[in-house]
A and B are shown apart, each in its own frame.
Chain A
Amino acid sequence: MKEVINPPAVNIEEGEYHINMGPQHPSTHGVLRLVLSLQGETVKSLQPHCGYIHRGIEKMCEKDTYPQIIHLTDRMDYLSAHINNHAVCLLVENALEVDVPERVKYIRTILDELTRIASHQLWWCSFGMDMGGQTCYFYGLRDREKILDIFEESFGSRLLHSYYTPGGLMMDIHPNFQKRTKDFIKYFRKKIKDYDYILTGNIIMQERTKGIGYISKEDVISYGVTGPTGRGSGFSCDVRKHHPYAAYDKVDFREALETAGDTFARYMVRMHEMRESLKIIEQLIDNIPAGDFSAKMKAVIKLPAGEYYQRVEAARGEYGVYVVSDGNKSPYRMKFRSPNFSNLSALDHMSRGYKIADLIAIGGSLDYVIPDIDR
């Protein structure tokens, strides 16, 4: 049996004590255990303990074919399922130099952005609940439901889609897809104003987030913190801008950047991002070109021997896939660079000197998904 608390490496001073937050704790949003070192109510340091849902996905990938691997990537960051699928598909397509039809690129971009909105909605409602605003949870879930309904009608699943395949899509979009997406944009443009009324302008929420969990731009880069968390500190790290893929080079959107580096800045980045995603979808939804929904691919996909790397912008930051291929139908080694893993490494730095109650807000603003950390 493993001991209950691993003693931290630091010497314990007088008045200092250690408590476990998690693995079962509502605000860790999953099975993450943080061992806190406290002086009174102030966090002196914390150590994350991971692996409660480590499934060895990287090891499993070494036995699986590339189309099979796509189904595993859903199960990492389940809130950016489409985007994770996209990374593996792009990697295979780039390695085999397959030309993907324009139609596929447009549909993938729209779905990636819908996923991003759905993920940020769930972040918003759980962040509100962490702050003590139960109402937020119902508002957020109500609107997220609309996106999941579109997904369900189009390809039958609501959370783990595996809709992208190397070379294209599993099937064509549903005839209702465009109309329902446009209806959703109209609907959500109105509703997102409510989000600001309920939470953004709330003085209790602002008092609890402004100036809390500060991290500088240099530290953010050094810790490899990306996504909305990195952009809250002014680190321009949007993969969609710097290394465009799919149809991102054809659309006009702004990379949401804040410079304050605190919890409120990270909150604002995500609010901007939802609006920018709506803008991207609006530019593409009426212009989906006609054509095939998949390129012709061989029945057995083998990557030429060599090394490949693919980066995409998931809802929580930069998601990377690194493959070492020996020319077989399964990769020799597959490594996933998950955004949450790197973001978590900065949590200790961000929360030192703040109170335990602040840690809940800081954790909420990191928006971690534990299966993505553990893999």
Chain B
Amino acid sequence: MDKAALKERILGLVPEAEFQENKQFPMFVIPPDKMHALAVRLKEDTDLSFDYLFCLSGVDMLKYFEVVYHMESTTLQHQLVLKVRTADRENAAVDTVCDIWRTAELHEREVYDLLGVKFNSHPDLRRFFLEENWKGHPLRKDYVDEVNIVEL
């Protein structure tokens, strides 16, 4: 499916989705409550069949967090990028997609560890790199590191 056809298809599934211009991939912002249902359709529908989630990242956008999903179909060879914005910073939470793409399990743990975004109904949401008693989430823009080796 090319960019225009994918745009039509996604907007047909989620009319509230917001299309973003990008040179490489078709990119959409999806409301958080619609993401899980859309992800199921993306994987199951034969004309979409996005079976390979190759990247899952979290971005601190100061007022909210963005979770970015890069996905590809290994059979149809098309790519898609979805973004989900959390409502606020304090209770940032997004539905997990690790029941759809297993690779999301560790990626979501990493995002939770470094950015503090919670993933609803994740089977094992613990810190991944840092210790359990670590204070704060380092990839947040307002994180203060007392011994900053970059600025020394």
Question: Do A and B come together as binding partners?
Answer: yes
Per-position binary interface string of chain A over residues 333-354, scored 1 when its CB falls under 8 Å from any chain B CB and 0 otherwise: 1010100011011100100000
Given contacts A50-B128, A341-B106, A344-B106, contact A221 B150 (CB under 8 A): no
Q: Which of B93-107 contact A (CB under 8 A)?
A: 101-103, 105-107
Measured between alpha carbons, how far is A309 from B106 in the docked complex, in Å?
A: 20
Measured between alpha carbons, how far is A50 from B130 in the docked complex, in Å?
A: 8
Given contacts A59-B138, A223-B102, A306-B22, contact A322 B52 (CB under 8 A): no
Are B55 and A345 in contact, CB atoms less than 8 angstroms apart? no
Q: Which of A108-132 contact B (CB under 8 A)?
A: none
Are B103 and A223 in contact, CB atoms less than 8 angstroms apart? yes
Shortest C-beta distance, B78 to chain A (Å), equals: 12
Q: Which of A295-321 contact B (CB under 8 A)?
A: 306-309, 311, 318, 320
Shortest C-beta distance, B83 to chain A (Å), equals: 9
Q: Select B103's contact among A64, A224, A235, A333, beta carbons within 8 Å.
A: A224
Shortest C-beta distance, A44 to chain B (Å), equals: 16
Measured between alpha carbons, how far is A63 from B143 in the docked complex, in Å?
A: 14
State the interface size on chain A (CB cutoff 8 A).
44
Are A2 and B128 in contact, CB atoms less than 8 angstroms apart? no
Shortest C-beta distance, A219 to chain B (Å), equals: 7
Give the secondary structure class of A's interface. mixed
B64 within 8 A of A: no
B18 within 8 A of A: no
Interface size class of B (residues with CB under 8 A): 35 or more
A60 within 8 A of B: yes
Q: Which of B38-73 contact A (CB under 8 A)?
A: 51-55, 57, 59-60, 68, 70
Could you tell me which A residues sit within 8 Å of B by CB distance? 2, 6, 9, 50-51, 54, 56, 58-60, 63-64, 218-219, 221-226, 235-237, 242, 306-309, 311, 318, 320, 322, 324, 332-333, 335, 337, 341-342, 344-346, 349, 374
User: Other CB < 8 Å A-B pairs besides A224-B53, A374-B129, 15 of them?
Assistant: A2-B132, A9-B123, A56-B138, A63-B151, A223-B102, A237-B52, A242-B77, A309-B24, A309-B25, A309-B70, A322-B68, A333-B60, A335-B57, A341-B110, A345-B103
Q: Which 9 A-B pairs have the closest CB atoms?
A: A224-B103, A51-B129, A335-B57, A54-B129, A337-B55, A345-B106, A222-B102, A63-B150, A333-B59
Write 13 A-B pairs (CB below 8 A) sorted by A numbering.
Answer: A6-B132, A9-B123, A51-B130, A56-B138, A237-B52, A237-B74, A307-B22, A307-B27, A309-B24, A322-B70, A333-B59, A346-B102, A349-B102
